[in-house]
Amino acid sequence: MDHPLIALIDQQIAKAEAEGQFDDLAGAGKPLELSGNAADAVLDRMVKEAGGNASPFAVLRDQIAAARVRVAELPDGEARLAAQRDLAELETKRAIEIEAFKKFG
């Protein structure tokens, strides 16, 4: 089932397009730089465009990638369990950041 406002949304987009509001947008015709998770890339870009410096999404993405490497390199044991807990904590922080951004912008 479509969203109840989909017809209105489509109408507004068509109107804006007819009025040329999408002409000369920054980055028009260029591919998006989607390295890794596309959702992270989009959120990171939105934060940067909103005036944020180092996006928390980008920082957490890099920390998560490094933590995954550490977990993969460690043999079974206490050190690996600690690294897995650290990874889970980073992933939880990332989820919280995403939800907060969705809710508050």
Q: CA–CA separation, 13 vs 6, rounded Å?
A: 10
| 71-83: pLDDT as tens digits | 999 999 999 999 9
pTM (2 d.p.): 0.51
* Position 33 pLDDT exceeds 70: no
Q: What is the torsional sign of CA 101, 65, 27, 20?
A: negative
| 40-69: pLDDT as tens digits | 666 667 667 666 666 677 788 889 999 999
- The CB-side HSE value for 67 (13 A sphere, CA atoms) comes to 17
Residue type, 100: A
